Chain A
């Protein structure tokens, strides 16, 4: 699923959504790891912590554990955090 097969990550390079908890909670002002989201590619629903995290890039890519489609992209710069959520059909926030 990478553009360059020469940089195919090994299994131990792949973490999970817990690895993105810091930037995500800073951006959303709440914990995001237990938030369920629906993959826009295959429809599978997983909590953010259960997504596969590819962290060896300028940013973090979170992929669906079922279809490997990209659900979230997170990039932090000195000034801001960018979150590309095109791959999420929805994120579900419990009303308290």
Chain B
């Protein structure tokens, strides 16, 4: 039965390095019903002997881009799938994909804001889809992104985020670097904590809509703090993914 999320063959049409260990793949799809920012796709790789593995990847691109989705893949050295996507795949390759998937961790412009986004490492990917969508839709929604990375060189989408901020349309981006900071660093330099979240959230107050994505420990900490600060739990949406330090 051809349901809305049956498997299809996507073609890799572009590859872009984001950081030394992270790259983005643009995938063209034969049939795509469009997605909502925050949704993900499942990829399936099958070896010649029939062994297959599936992994979920958040969609990084905005729905305004028709017929393609972009995913951003962080290389996990002992992973089964990410080394293939990061080292082996070239433009023109075809990959099995199903999606779009998910409806809980989704933000679209009509939902409004203000929007508080909190990311750990590659947890920024679905949040980037929301920010790209916000920008393309010209949505007058104030937004703040707090992004935790280990090192400056590991900040994903750094230049594009700078560019989005320079549009001066109500977006502010805060970075925290937890392991090392370059000389003259003026951002945060510690793991996300209550004081940091309170500072970033302050102008929005508890009326914000929050989306948190990253490693489980970071998401748990941030979600608990936001609820303690008075945000209603149903406005704090969370997505946890597997081990990968921030």
Interface residues of A (CB under 8 A from B): 11-19, 21-22, 25-26, 29, 31, 33-34, 47-50, 55
Chain A binding surface SS class: helix
Q: A15-B240, A26-B3 are in contact. Are A47 and B220 (CB under 8 A)?
A: no
B218 to chain A, nearest CB (A): 9
Docked Cα-Cα span, A26 to B240, in Å, equals 21
Docked Cα-Cα span, A38 to B65, in Å, equals 38
Interface residues of B (CB under 8 A from A): 3-6, 40, 42, 54, 56, 98-99, 101-105, 215-217, 220, 237-243
Contact A15 B242 (CB under 8 A): yes
Contacts of B40 in A (CB 8 A): 18, 21
Docked Cα-Cα span, A17 to B5, in Å, equals 18
A36 to chain B, nearest CB (A): 10
Docked Cα-Cα span, A21 to B104, in Å, equals 10
Contact B103 A33 (CB under 8 A): yes
Beyond contacts A16-B240, A21-B102, A49-B238: 17 other A-B pairs, Cβ-Cβ < 8 A, are A12-B217, A12-B243, A15-B241, A16-B238, A18-B40, A18-B240, A19-B56, A21-B101, A22-B5, A22-B56, A26-B3, A31-B102, A33-B102, A33-B103, A33-B104, A34-B104, A50-B238
Q: A14-B240, A26-B98 are in contact. Are A33 and B105 (CB under 8 A)?
A: yes
Contact A11 B220 (CB under 8 A): yes
Contact A18 B242 (CB under 8 A): no
Contact A21 B240 (CB under 8 A): no
Name B58's closest neighbour in chain A (CB-CB): A18
Contacts of A33 in B (CB 8 A): 102-105
Name A10's closest neighbour in chain B (CB-CB): B243
Top 6 closest pairs, chain A to chain B, by CB? A49-B104, A31-B103, A33-B104, A22-B42, A34-B104, A34-B103
